[in-house]
Amino acid sequence: MRIRTPTEILPSEITRRECYEGRRVFLRRAAALGLAGSAFPAGELLAQNPAAARLAGARSGYSAIEKLTPYKDVTSYNNFYEFGTDKSQPAQFAHKMATRPWTVAVEGEVRRKKVFDIDELLKLAPMEERIYRMRCVEGWSMVIPWVGYPIAELIRRVEPTGRAKYIAFVTHTDPASMVGLRLPVLDWPYVEALRLDEAMHPLALLGFGLYGEVLPNQNGAPVRMVVPWKYGFKSGKSIVKILFTEHQPATSWNVAAAHEYGFYSNVNPAVDHPRWSQASERRIGEDGFFQPKRKTLPFNGYAEQVAGLYAGMDLKKNF
């Protein structure tokens, strides 16, 4: 995959025209309120009206050069089992989840344990807008313009101890709004984890928005992981706790079905899921099931950037 520099990326390739023009209007209004100079100018307005706020992020040179998946598909075809196992259920039910107030606790092997208010977390580092290819283990993919900043920015600020080797991300649980919690699909809460060096890689993001707007609830509001070289289940949504550990944490899908969902979850076309091939994928938003499938790329097309993290590992065993 070719990575384009920020100066080569056209605004029309990053966001839809109406989103881009709307953001310019928002920024003019933010400037009038004296907010435009902050790292996250929408922070205060977001707390008052999250659905109306837009995220301003500098375009990143890590962006892929591919046609974006339509916004309506990105926000209506989702895996978020806390709201149900059908792809349409998160969009149907997730609006019931309150994203204010919201806190994210950082615990475990760090010198600076802290509970971040979401608006404090939003302002922790400058936002970037990145187009990432995302692939689901079920054999479909999307190309999404995310807004966020590297997880490494948070990691550096909380100062992991010498014993920290892994970082786990724990998802919100609210039985009142998350109807899927009633189903015995997984042991709740949902937990995903990375090795610390994986989480420090500049491609790994804390995501706060997509298409220049705050995350819809069904996409993991108000903050989620975005790890583009792995299968999608590694990108935990609606995070409430980040835990640094010495030993490999138990993760939800690995506990539920270790033979199907390896801890590393690196996209490897040579390792089939026990119930289907991983050699090809269907790109959502491209003529439905009649669109020819695409060849699945190692590490989802990010091998040049991340393969070194796994030098010497057998990725057929550590899948």
User: pLDDT at position 48, please?
Assistant: 36
Domain count, the chain: 1
CA atoms within 13 A on the CB side of 210: 28
In contact, 104 and 115? CB cutoff 8 Å: yes
User: pLDDT at position 2, please?
Assistant: 47
Task: Name the H helices within the chain.
Answer: 11-14, 17-32, 43-48, 71-74, 89-93, 118-122, 151-158, 196-200, 252-256, 303-306
CA atoms within 13 A on the CB side of 290: 1
User: pLDDT at position 62, please?
Assistant: 82
Q: Which domain holds residue 93?
A: 6-308
- Report the predicted TM-score, pTM, of the whole model to 2 decimal places: 0.84
Is 315 a member of any domain? Answer: no
User: pLDDT at position 289, please?
Assistant: 63
Is 1 a member of any domain? Answer: no
Is 133 a member of any domain? Answer: yes
Is 267 a member of any domain? Answer: yes
Is 243 a member of any domain? Answer: yes
Is 317 a member of any domain? Answer: no
Is 171 a member of any domain? Answer: yes
Q: Which of 254, 144, 135 is nearest to 191 (CA)?
A: 254
Is 316 a member of any domain? Answer: no
DSSP H or E run through 103: strand 103-108
Write out the chain's pLDDT in tens, 319 residues.
Answer: 444 443 344 433 444 434 433 444 333 333 333 333 333 333 333 333 344 467 877 777 788 889 999 999 999 999 999 999 999 999 999 999 999 999 999 999 999 999 999 999 999 999 999 999 999 999 999 999 999 999 999 999 999 999 999 999 999 999 999 999 999 999 999 999 999 999 999 999 999 999 999 999 999 999 999 999 999 999 999 999 999 999 999 999 999 999 999 999 999 999 999 999 999 999 999 866 677 899 999 999 999 999 999 999 999 988 8
Q: Which of 119, 98, 103, 149 is nearest to 43 (CA)?
A: 119
- How far is Cα of residue 145 from the mean position of the Cα atoms in its chain? 11
Query: How far apart, in whole angstroms, are the C-alpha atoms of residue 202 and residue 187?
Result: 30
User: pLDDT at position 268, please?
Assistant: 95
CATH number of the domain bearing residue 160: 3.90.420.10
